[in-house]
Structure 1
């Protein structure tokens, strides 16, 4: 009987404590999404149990009808108060104008996991800044045009041959998109950043892809590690999460150790030169520094780029009029050559519009966050927009997927309509409502390369094939709740029909 009373007392005490913790926004007059006072998970329940994708979760917080016209909305990460920023001008304040007050991302790796803690996305500002400057040199327009583009063209030729082998003598065939897109993006990444002749599309398999996919296989330990890094950053020294698996970390270390192309100027070479020039910087001198950056670049490009290409083909298959117009533009571009030059590809207006619209519906970054690092002891004031001061350490989230599908800024937001980005309309897009790669200094370092890779892949597929929906094509995309990025939960099947331009 005593044990029963003790249990009851514990439950009641926990409820009272949680009610107090969840009173933060109410007591300050800020609209908020109230979690259950019986749950210690705050608003994260569905996400922690893998019932919803990250993108959909933050979009739901953004679009919850209880928010009304509120510019900011409070919610709870376990018992930690967090903000969902919904106003474009406040988003600009957080990401760009007042970057110095929001220097870091909220997530953090354990210092005892150098392969994770050293990576560009998880490094804190004083370490992040120099690494970002070093790696940015690999993504200039001149380098993409003069160094990268030729290598990417070789991969797109492999992509054409891959599809030709799949169809053989047939005029049409239903194919899954997942593996083809993944082989394409890992081939590009391996060639550009590691000077590897990956050849996954030629062989139909890739060690680089196998190692990368293994990292995304979900198990309870990986889920715990991932949630700890993103939602319990102050507990990482206790929970000891690992960003990379031991196998993946070992693979990337060997990749760096075996690097045999010191004159290529690729990612590994660039980082090694950076390391030699920073003899007093303990961060960059760590033996895992180069391998950690090489590892995160592969992961960041692999999942987002391969999924985006699949989504774009899916939308084109569902909209034959749009696909027909795009193929007519490509027919003119390919009229005198089997491949497209860099300047020709970049000058194709409708291809650009199609890719921009695909990125609106399926942004590379479905959400971003920033941690308040204001030098003022009280924090960063949101006045005159909102009467609230963001305290140091509070995370502010921006749902890019929510912004991109907000009917206030995008009429019929679920409709794939490249005309939104026609030159005469582009200038009227509300500022900070289209940020598919994030914005400001922390914006995606490889955004231009990602768009270039998408354009090139789509152009060379449609050069030879018409894609259309079939009986195995799902009616709508469901995002995978086990993936951090936007990824289809179901395999996308399309019918590929031979149709040379």
Structure 2
């Protein structure tokens, strides 16, 4: 090696070191508490050590450098970001000053992944606001009530499917309940989002179940892809990663377009999402006819994207919540008995019929679901991007001002498990969410569906389908653990959603309530 080349390399390495050192001293220069990063990956090292997203967020939240701080500075790879901890600060960002944090930092590939990028989860403003406004009527109480017969029809199929299971002894049978719940929620969402009866109990490998399973099989490659989406979104298009893989996108697009054409041809209505999306398209056609060029165009993939998102988000998170509720109830016979007593009393009041009013009356079941979602929220964190043209002040928490474009992360999972907000956080206690006890909860310490204008639009539907499914299980069965039930569930470290690795095996015992 010549002296000139050696000098060049030394100078180059010195410059690189200087740039990295300056980059990773951003928070120090501002006098903001930070969690010390690793160069190149920032504070994401735990994800590369095969930690789940939930465990990763929990570790950041409870890091010694973040103790007693309302927020800390972190680095997502090379980029400085804020990690918020104080509920009052969360209220400011998510609700009070929502207009300055109106978009997610995460993003999908707008060109190659239209079903991923154009759905309501990833859409940016002003398109997000218009889609949200038009979709909101689909989730009103009156709409859900009209939709209820479609959901209960699937609930009855779930009950019939369990009744057909052969007994392994005189009392009951073993079953992996996560897949059972996925069959149920696949059928519910396919009927309310696509207007199609998927019949997954009769054909567990049917098209809807097969494609839903495909999207949520998180290989190492998909883990890397979602890490880019959440933390390096500007690189997603270069790596050509898709939220919805091409083969699944083709299925959703073909199915949706066929159903849409058939529905428009027949004039039939079903009180489902297709009805709403047809109205979307008509509004676009009317705007075009009147010469209005400013309205968002509701045609093609933006319509398919909403149906596809509600299918994927609706079946997976609800099926996991149902299965985890069954797991916790199997381990607590007293809570399970109280639930079955409530279901029996409600069925007696409704003459044995599962009605919308009967489901809505189940207060203890609602408490159980609240508690399940506290311990196991579907998403470990939320993200926002500062959209304010003027740097956003963090007073009275700090003199720092958040610059435009900076990502902000909200640690839902860790907040739910903070003993400051929920005593004995790992203990399953539905009574935490009684009407009286909820008055003492710290606002913005509980957010399984998010809060504020960008909170999950499908929250009420998620609760409704979970309750219908669980009622149709527990009205004829008790659930216990089996020899295969793990004492401690292991989270899938590749999944962006909270998923249990290896399923949830339980034992179902025939024990009809007699109503």
Q: Verify the 8 A CA contact 2:182 2:319 in the aligned structure 1.
A: yes
Q: Distance in 1 between matches of 2:385 and 2:326?
A: 36
Shift of the alpha carbon at 1:178?
A: 2.0
Deviations along 1:7-29, one digit per CA (max 9) or x if unpaired, are 77666654433222111111111
Q: Distance in 2 between matches of 1:296 and 1:35?
A: 34
Q: 1:312 aligns with which of 325, 346, 353?
A: 325
Q: Distance in 1 between matches of 2:439 and 2:79?
A: 39
TM-score, normalisation: structure 1: 0.94
Q: Distance in 1 between matches of 2:51 and 2:471?
A: 33
Shift of the alpha carbon at 1:218?
A: 3.6
Partner residue in 2 for 1:83: 82
Matches within 5 A, 1:20-419: 20-36=22-38, 39-47=39-47, 49=48, 51-113=50-112, 114-145=114-145, 147-168=146-167, 170=169, 171-219=171-219, 221-259=221-259, 260-262=262-264, 263-264=268-269, 265-278=271-284, 279=288, 280=293, 283-285=296-298, 287-335=300-348, 337-376=351-390, 379-419=391-431
Q: Verify the 8 A CA contact 2:394 2:400 in the aligned structure 1.
A: yes
Change (3 A) 1:226 1:155: same
Q: Verify the 8 A CA contact 2:71 2:86 in the aligned structure 1.
A: yes
Q: Distance in 2 between matches of 1:80 and 1:362?
A: 29
SS in 2 for 1:201: coil
Change (3 A) 1:274 1:69: same
Deviations along 1:430-482, one digit per CA (max 9) or x if unpaired, are 11111110001100010011111111111221111111112211111222111
Change (3 A) 1:348 1:215: closer
Q: Distance in 2 between matches of 1:337 and 1:209?
A: 34
Higher mean Cα deviation, 178-187 or 62-71? 62-71
Partner residue in 2 for 1:480: 492
Q: Distance in 2 between matches of 1:357 and 1:12?
A: 53
Change (3 A) 1:50 1:454: farther
Change (3 A) 1:494 1:389: same
Higher mean Cα deviation, 475-484 or 303-312? 475-484
Change (3 A) 1:130 1:166: same
Q: Distance in 1 between matches of 2:239 and 2:299?
A: 23
Shift of the alpha carbon at 1:276?
A: 2.9
Higher mean Cα deviation, 156-165 or 338-347? 338-347
Deviations along 1:393-424, one digit per CA (max 9) or x if unpaired, are 11111111111110001000000001111222
Change (3 A) 1:216 1:341: closer
SS in 1 for 2:165: helix
Higher mean Cα deviation, 331-340 or 20-29? 331-340
Q: Verify the 8 A CA contact 2:147 2:272 in the aligned structure 1.
A: no
Q: Distance in 2 between matches of 1:267 and 1:8?
A: 62
SS in 2 for 1:209: helix
Shift of the alpha carbon at 1:239?
A: 3.3
Q: Distance in 1 between matches of 2:421 and 2:294?
A: 45
Partner residue in 2 for 1:450: 462
Q: Does 1:16 align with 2:18?
A: yes
Q: Verify the 8 A CA contact 2:220 2:494 in the aligned structure 1.
A: no
